[in-house]
A and B are shown apart, each in its own frame.
Chain A
Amino acid sequence: MSEMRFTKDHEWIKIEGNIGTVGITQFAQSQLGDIVFVEVPAAGKAVKAGGDAAVVESVKAASEVYSPVSGTVKEGNAALPDAPETVNQDPQGKGWFFKIELADPKELDGLMDQAAYEKYCADLH
């Protein structure tokens, strides 16, 4: 299992080979509160690093989920739209949003590792 990388917008990405699995972090789900709606991208959608890729809506707010890297979506998590609570229950596991084929693995160098992300969150609030 590879290590997770994190964005400042609270997405995570886990790399296996040339495929990254993307979701939102434990911190993000705790800030959003009960999640009531999720929209995941269709396979084949081309996204840019930092571009809109998915939508998450909680009782408090609706937010975009940005792709941590550029590439082509291979699969959206089809189970999420019918069970958005999965994102609250297991945000960094079963609550993944989509898998993406990386266009440029070097983009990963710009993301935070676990320790850096934890420090980033601690400084936020």
Chain B
Amino acid sequence: MTMPTTASGNRGLQLEQGLIFELNTPGMTAVDLPPAPKVAERLGGLKNTKAIGLPGLSEPDVVRHYTRLSQKNYSIDSGFYPLGSCTMKHNPRLNEKMARLPGFADIHPFQPLSTVQGALELIDTCAQWLKELTGMTAVAMSPAAGAHGELCGLMCIKSAHEANGQGHRKIVLVPESAHGTNPATAALCGYTVEAIPANAEGRVDVAALKAHLRPQDGKMEIAAVMITNPNTCGLFERDCIAIAEAVHAAGAYFYMDGANYNAIVARLRIADLGVDAMHINLHKTFSTPHGGGGPGAGPTVLSAKLAPFAPVPMVVTAGSGFDVEEHAGHGEARQSYGRMKGYHGQFGVFVRAVAYMMAMGVDGLKQASGDAVLNANYLLARLSAELTPAFDGPCMHEAVFDDRFLKGTGVSTLDIAKALIDEGVHPPTMYFPLVVHGALLMEPTETESKATLDQFVNSLLSLARKAKSGTAEAMFKASPQLAPRRRLDETKAARKPVLRWLPPAGNHEGNGDTKREAAE
């Protein structure tokens, strides 16, 4: 199929769009304001002497520019988005309506507490749900996202060791398959990271872990173990309780990465696994639009041993209402390690999470985690007809395949992902987890219907058969062919990134030709 060319470069009603600085018509404005009255200048020597280089645009130019860009976006609202590890589930519109109630949306952190008692009660309600679901003693609500929650957990662990005269412990153990944020968090807290290998099943090698937990030169150096459960291979760490016992026997703490909590919510209590700290990605597990830097929230549940070190601010009950403990060293925050965020956390995400939890109920949450696992196993079962699963099933909420099925075809995991774009599907996660060769990691969530899953499976099976036929390598290398942009040069983008538009040399108005320069 050859695409017809057009004089405009547009394709049907899919319109090409330049950068806003390239649309410049000097002197054009959306609103004509009268000339400013003359005033005595009080800028001293700070007056701008050059044009600031904003493009001249009319209001329709601006509206159309951003509308056209938005139409190139692909999101969970437009279609299937099986990106593994990211939990792209439907975000109920009810949550949005609740988050926009003026009593929640139009308040300020510096308002007198007596005027925001409802908002404090909502934070407390969210905290009670999280403690009830996990069985944990306390929850720090202020962490702003998953990695921030990890930092909170490890800072609590560090504070606890220091309070117990164990500040010399400098090592954190992390499995090979961990999210990259785990070793990064440990390193940021000043710890050295040691990797624990996985066994052939894709789970933590418990014998290897225990070997690491032995004292070295008569001293115990291990501060904590960080494990994701279900893990990044989409598998439940069955030996979690034995791991927790070994970790505690060594005087260390057990951090669980809760990125995949959505697979087990309302099915088991985290406290029963022996966990000391776990962050909960509210925006994943309890639905909030996220991604692209959008808001998240990473409340961190804590065991009785770590609860005293939780960060401020914390909402506390006071008489029949609520108060806020703002400072470490006082009251319930007596041993708090301090503050890690300006205010109370991502309040808008708390509202959405509470709306979601209350609408679902515990029975609904239990069905959601079950359906998420069922959907992933449906993908695993049907796709195994042509693809090669990385591990023996069943899986939890994510199905992971390796690239053995592509061996000798000349087609790579990347090519399959690019061809899926032409099929109208956001590609799954590729080449992660790193322990799986040429990985394709897919997470359907409970959102997707059997009809959507079948359409995806049929597309992927068809692509796998084409790859194996040995006659379609050129098609794969050229894909995507139907997307607004063809195959992008990822290598050049990484080696010579163009991070900033620069006007053509000697022209501060920014009009003229459309030269873009590499930011070196």
Contact = CB atoms under 8 A, between A and B. Distances in A.
A82 B378 CA distance: 47
Contact of B495 (A61, A62, A84): A84
A122 interface: no
Nearest to A60: B431
A85 B434 CA distance: 22
B434 A59 contact: no
Contacts of A106: none
Interface string A89-101: 0000000000000
B518 interface: no
A125 B494 contact: no
Contacts of B366: none
A36 B495 CA distance: 5
Nearest to B407: A125
Q: Which of A37, A60, A61, A62 has the most CB of B within 10 A?
A: A60
Contact of A36 (B407, B434, B437, B494): B494
Interface string A22-62: 00000000000010110000000000000000000101111
Contacts of A84: 495
A34 B430 CA distance: 15
Nearest to A31: B437
A125 B437 contact: yes
Contacts of A59: 490-491, 494
A53 to B, nearest CB: 15
A64 to B, nearest CB: 10
Interface string B11-53: 0000000000000000000000000000000000000000000
B431 A36 contact: no
A69 to B, nearest CB: 20
A119 B432 CA distance: 26
A62 B494 CA distance: 12
A85 B491 CA distance: 10
Contact of B431 (A34, A37, A57, A61): A61
Contacts of A61: 431-432, 434
Interface string B483-502: 00000001100110000000
B8 to A, nearest CB: 33
Majority DSSP secondary structure for residues of B touching A: loop
Contacts, number: 21
B212 to A, nearest CB: 14
B441 to A, nearest CB: 13
B494 A37 contact: yes
B495 A85 contact: yes
Interface string B322-336: 000000000000000
Interface string B165-188: 000000000000000100000000
Contacts of A85: 495
Contacts of B491: 34, 36, 59
A37 B497 CA distance: 12
Interface residues of A, number: 11
A90 B430 CA distance: 27
A36 B489 CA distance: 12
A26 B430 CA distance: 23
Interface in B464-497: 490-491, 494-495
A24 to B, nearest CB: 15
Contacts of B430: 60
A32 to B, nearest CB: 10
A62 B184 CA distance: 13
Nearest to B495: A36
B411 to A, nearest CB: 14
Contacts of B432: 61
A43 B494 CA distance: 27
A33 B495 CA distance: 13
Nearest to B404: A125
A27 to B, nearest CB: 13
A102 B87 CA distance: 48
A25 B491 CA distance: 20
A60 B438 CA distance: 9
A57 B437 CA distance: 17
A84 B407 CA distance: 27
Contacts of B490: 34, 59
Contacts of B437: 125
Contacts of B434: 61
B235 to A, nearest CB: 21
A57 B180 CA distance: 14
A86 to B, nearest CB: 12
Interface in B423-452: 430-432, 434, 437
Nearest to B193: A52
Interface in B197-213: none
* Residue with the greatest number of chain A CB neighbours at <10 A, chosen from B431, B437, B491: B491
Nearest to B490: A59
Contacts of A37: 494
Contacts of A36: 491, 494-495
Given A34-B491, A36-B495, 9 more contacts: A36-B491, A36-B494, A37-B494, A57-B494, A59-B491, A59-B494, A60-B430, A61-B434, A125-B437
8 contacts: A34-B491, A36-B491, A36-B494, A59-B490, A62-B180, A84-B495, A85-B495, A125-B407
A-B interface, 7 closest residue pairs, ranked by CB to CB distance from nearest: A36-B494, A34-B491, A60-B431, A59-B490, A36-B495, A61-B434, A59-B491
Interface of B: 180, 407, 430-432, 434, 437, 490-491, 494-495
